[in-house]
Structure 1
Amino acid sequence: MQQRQFEKMKNSDGFIAALDQSGGSTPKALALYGISEDEYHNTEEMFDLVHEMRTRIITSPAFDSSQILGAILFEQTMDREIEGMYTGDYLAEKKGVVPFLKVDKGLAEESNGVQLMKPIDDIDDKLKRANERHIFGTKMRSVIKEANQEDIKAVVDQQFEIGKKIIDAGLVPIIEPEVDINSPEKEKCEELLKAEIRSHLDKLGQDEHVMLKLTIPTAANTYKELIEHPKVVRIVALSGGYDRDEANEKLKENNGLIASFSRALTQDLNVNQTDEEFNDALGKAVESIYQASIT
């Protein structure tokens, strides 16, 4: 772990850009960007196009470390280059932005109101390669839809079990047990989730730290005690399906919670925009999310 990056993530103002759409979500991300599925013919072409999109975002003057602390990458993005440098190195060295890697393989089928992660059978290899690519931390996502204490516990147990492997590899895990914004029991889910996370945080060793990526809570400042926990580097919020304006307004109600938005960051970007139009749209998005993240 690089101490300078650790201090930046813990103490600096800004937010994390989530640029980690993977195989299943890439067609939707490209469609929102103005590239339809009939414009590519196979997976290789699809990933070429999405890397062009991400390269355009990352190299934009609007993508700047004065407001963006980190960026979460998909595995293929980590292994590709921007201007002759691996993406993580470009982010860190050219942009001053801390690189993270999405390590999960997607969600298992829903059971008892939750979706655990699919097995990550190649986690050791991913962590080895992440270190070789100078990645600071990782991210992995589960989903909670119902206030079932036993199964929420299973979600958090799985996250922290893998999180410990990530810590042992010298990386900082982002634990992401997302609560579905459409859950009729959202607030109750969040209370149960908070208790389970707190239990695991209290068991971490002296030099073991995690980050958390959580749905913006129904009750403002629900996660205040987790934000202040000594084992938590930072808590970031996912937009979860809210559009940018709504996500920003909800985020502003939560002191110390910062954004890690994906669709809400890129929703106004289009492949057919001129560079001036593109940079202006990205700049406005970055500024609004930054302002919501420093309340």
Structure 2
Amino acid sequence: MSEQQTVKMGSGRGFIAALDQSGGSTPKALKLYGIEENAYSSDSEMFDLIHQMRSRIITSPVFGGDRILAAILFEQTMDRDIEGTPSASYLWDVKNVVPFLKIDKGLADESDAAQLMKPIPGLDELLARAAEKGIFGTKERSVIGGANRAGIAAIVAQQFEIGEQVLSHGLVPILEPEVTITIADKAAAEDILLDEITKHLDGLPEGRQVMLKVSLPTVANHYLPLIEHPKVLRVVALSGGYSRAEADVLLGQNDGLIASFSRALTEGLSAQQSDQEFNATLDAAIQSIYTASVE
């Protein structure tokens, strides 16, 4: 982890590209990209296709560190090359984009209106490998499905527990306690979430910093206390099911909050597009998300 990367993540202008669809969400991502499930007959073929898609995005001339601060990778992407260079090295050395790694293994069954992360076997080994490959930080997601204090407290406690393990390897964790955008008590859930996160931040050792990834809040600037907290390097927002246009509008209402969009970034991209069409579509997406992030 370099000082240059820390400065870029802490104060750079731009957003994070979330390119971390894993096994469960890959078929949907490929379908949106114009590749149907009958186009591949095994997981390895499916992962080859998603790597081609991600490589096409990352190698595009419009994808670079002038508007994109960082990219979140799936473990298999980290272990592969882009144009003959390991993915994390390509991102930083060629594109000036800081590489992150998604480390969670999906969600456990719901309890107290919350889905914790499943256990992550071999996490220390993975984190050591990530650090060796030049990864700057990690991302780990859990989901809040209601304003249930016990459930939200359990999610935040688990996020910080994993976060401290990540920090011990010299990496910066993005803690992602996503609030489902369709729940009736979303604003109340966000109040509890802010309270629980603040408690844990205050208990972090001096000199330690985490990042946070949150759903776009019901009340604009709800997460401003976290954005201004000395133990938070950056707060980013997921698109969470909103269209890119909706997400951009909501993002623009929140001072200091920047995007970490996945589906909203790749909206409109297709395997069938010529490079010219593909790059023009990606450029428009990047510009709209960048503008919403920096305004």
Bin the TM-score by the shorter chain. Answer: over 0.9
- Distance in 2, matches of 1:87 and 1:207, equals 29
Matched, 1:85 2:88: no
- Distance in 2, matches of 1:287 and 1:43, equals 33
Aligned to 1:40: 40
After TM superposition, which residue ranges in structure 1, 4 or more long, deviate above 6 angstroms? none
Shift of 1:168: 0.7
Matched, 1:211 2:211: yes
Aligned to 1:62: 62
3-state SS of paired residue (1:164): helix
TM-score by length of 2: 0.99
**CA deviations over 1:152-172 (Å, ceiling 9, x no partner):** 000000000010010010000
Aligned to 2:243: 243
**CA deviations over 1:31-54 (Å, ceiling 9, x no partner):** 000000000000000000000000
Matched, 1:9 2:9: yes
- Distance in 1, matches of 2:275 and 2:42, equals 27
Instruction: Output the amino acid matched with 1:185.
Output: D
Aligned to 2:254: 254
**Unaligned 5+ residue runs, structure 2?**
none
Shift of 1:62: 1.0
Aligned to 2:75: 75
Shift of 1:151: 1.1
- Distance in 2, matches of 1:246 and 1:266, equals 15
Matched, 1:178 2:155: no
Instruction: Output the amino acid matched with 2:114.
Output: V
3-state SS of paired residue (1:160): helix
- Distance in 1, matches of 2:241 and 2:122, equals 30
Shift of 1:121: 1.6
Contact 2:112 2:150 in 1 (8 A): no
Shift of 1:206: 1.5
Matched, 1:18 2:18: yes
- Distance in 2, matches of 1:121 and 1:161, equals 15
Aligned to 1:274: 274
3-state SS of paired residue (2:138): strand
Aligned to 2:195: 195
Kindly report the root-mean-square deviation, in angstroms, between the aligned alpha carbons of the 2 structures.
0.5
**Unaligned 5+ residue runs, structure 1?**
none
How many residue pairs align between the two structures? 295
- Distance in 2, matches of 1:153 and 1:2, equals 33
